[in-house]
Amino acid sequence: MNRREFFRHALTLGLGGRLAPNAQAQSKPQPAKGVTGGRFLTINLLVRVNQIEAGKGRNLGADESQWHTLDAVRRLREAIARAVPSAKVGWGFSPLALTDPRDNYRAIRDYALQCHAERGDEPTLTVGGFFANMHNTREEVDRDVADGLATLSDWVGGAYRPRFVIAGFLSAANQRTLSERHGVRACQGHMWSQHAIDLGDSDGSIAYPYYPSSEHALKPAQGRADQVDCLNLDGWTVDFLAARRAGTGPGYNSRLGIGPIEALYQGNMPIAQGLFQMMETASTHYDRGYRLNGFGWCTLAWEVSLIEQFGDRTPEFERFLREAIGQWDDLRVVPMGEFAEAFRREHPDNASLVYRFVQRGTGVFGSDAELEIRWHMDRRLRLAILRDWTERTPWRVIDLTRYDLHAQEPDRPQRDWSLMNRINQKGLRPQDRPIPFDELDPSDKDYAREAYEGLLRID
């Protein structure tokens, strides 16, 4: 069954339907020396007390404690195991969730430790519950990271140290501390293409792993002199066409992709469309992206409070995993720390990183079916061009972010940590209007020409 046949089949199943068990669900678990030649999916399960634990005694957003139950957590982890028996996931505990004495949190922590011992799952820290730099100074974040890692180590035992932490967004200075002081050399430290949605903005990075510059967490290091030795990873793989927009509105969501919030809990979008969207987003990376980049990677986080708060979507998620492992039988579901280690072994710096992506819209919730987008991303720049492929309109540049230019993070806590310079895909500023490549400033044309011509040559 191909993906579009799956979509039609899913429509007939309704919310209670299930795909038949997939005989190919057994994956190939042996870790590779690097990532080249592999297809990877990283899943992080987030356990918090408050949506944003902004610091000691300061909590923002919803109190999620009533929605954290062992039953919900177990249902989600068992659904993953049924679909992919060898799957290993990350468990991101917020600082409060690591110490909360209530029975539900004790039971969840015990279960996570069981999964760590029996399945190879990786417990880690979710710094501040998410978006710590939006609310705290760098010094406060460093303190909270140190305290959280110490608590995590005491809980797991045996001088345990995770291979990565989860942060939503984490500043370059805090990532440097994480690496140099704590020996944690990978971080889910940016949200690719996020603006005017959720509780923090961080648009301007490249979508696949990179080492950040000491100037800005969203800027890839230009060389060893400015490199922070902490691999920076995205948190949610999104649809490149939906991501052109800012925020969410009638008929669109800029975070649409494989994340469950947008694909499975979007109230005005049928579940079958969400499943179709998840598979099509994955295909961008595991099919054409795999051929262009030599490997494919998707990632998502599941806030486990969603199950009790908005309804159980674990059967649908299991259905997606079964279909994915059937479509790409070499797909490996591994913790983000394991993926990061494999990547670091192959790429000690940004010098060899060149990522290219091509996607045509799915027609679902803001992913315009008539549009085609092409992205080039490396340590020097990111460049996106867009056209109507049905009308064969000329290509227009919708994003040119130059990483050779000086960048500077905010000097105090604030919502927006984005990196925008020449043209940004969100179209929020007057200079962000799509333009033909030849109408760029001459210096920008010279700088981006090789990347642009490479995008045009893609078959």
Considering the domain architecture, whether residues 320 and 433 belong to the same structural domain is answered as no
Q: Are residues 413 and 337 in the same domain?
A: no
Tokens, residue 398? 């919708």
1 part of a folded domain = no
Burial of 285 (0-12, 13-18, 19+ CB in 10 A): buried
Q: Which amino acid is at 148?
A: G
Q: Which of 349, 384, 412 is the last residue of a domain?
A: 349
Q: Are 319 and 381 part of one and the same domain?
A: no
* Predicted TM-score (pTM) above 0.85: yes
Q: For every one of its 459 residues, what pLDDT tens digit does the chain have, with 9 covering 90 and above? A: 444 444 444 443 333 333 333 333 333 444 447 999 999 999 999 999 877 776 666 666 678 899 999 999 999 999 999 999 999 999 999 999 999 999 999 999 999 999 999 999 999 999 987 889 999 999 999 999 999 999 999 999 999 999 999 999 999 999 999 999 999 999 999 999 999 888 889 999 999 999 999 999 999 999 999 999 999 999 999 999 999 999 989 889 999 999 999 999 988 889 999 999 999 999 999 999 999 999 999 999 999 999 999 999 999 999 999 999 999 999 999 999 999 999 999 999 999 999 999 999 999 999 999 999 999 999 999 999 999 999 999 999 999 999 999 999 999 999 999 999 999 999 999 999 999 999 999 999 999 999 999 999 999
Residues 6+ apart with CB under 8 A from 258: 236, 237, 238, 277, 278, 281, 282, 298, 300, 320
Q: Are residues 63 and 127 in the same domain?
A: yes
Number of domains in the chain: 2
| DSSP 8-state symbol, 284 | I
Q: Look at residue 25 and tell me if it is in a domain.
A: no
Residues of the domain holding 313:
38-349
Q: For residue 440, give the CATH number of its domain.
A: 3.30.1120.110
Are residues 257 and 384 located together in one domain of the fold?
A: no
Same domain, 101 and 196: yes
| 237 in the same domain as 105 | yes
Residue 129's alpha-carbon distances to 43, 74, 105, 295, in angstroms, are 17, 21, 15, 31
d(CA 252, CA 193): 15
Residue whose entry in the numeric block shows the structure tokens 């159980």: 312
Furthest C-alpha separation in the chain: 64
Residue in the structure block whose two tokens are 């000097």: 411
CB distance 351 to 449 below 8 Å? no
Q: Which of 318, 349, 380 is the last residue of a domain?
A: 349
Same domain, 114 and 251: yes
Measure the CA–CA gap between 123 and 115, rounded to whole angstroms: 9
**Which of 334, 349, 364 lies at the terminal end of a domain, its last residue?**
349
Question: Does residue 312 share a domain with residue 389?
Answer: no
Does residue 111 lie in a domain region? yes
Question: CA 87, CA 134: separation in Å to the nearest integer?
Answer: 33
Residue 140 belongs to a domain with what CATH number? 3.20.20.510
Specify if 169 maps to a domain: yes
Same domain for 325 and 412: no
Read off the amino acid at residue 45: L
Residues 418, 321 share a domain: no
Same domain, 365 and 433: yes
Enumerate residues 6+ apart whose C-beta is below 8 A from 374.
356, 357, 358, 384, 385, 386, 395, 455, 458
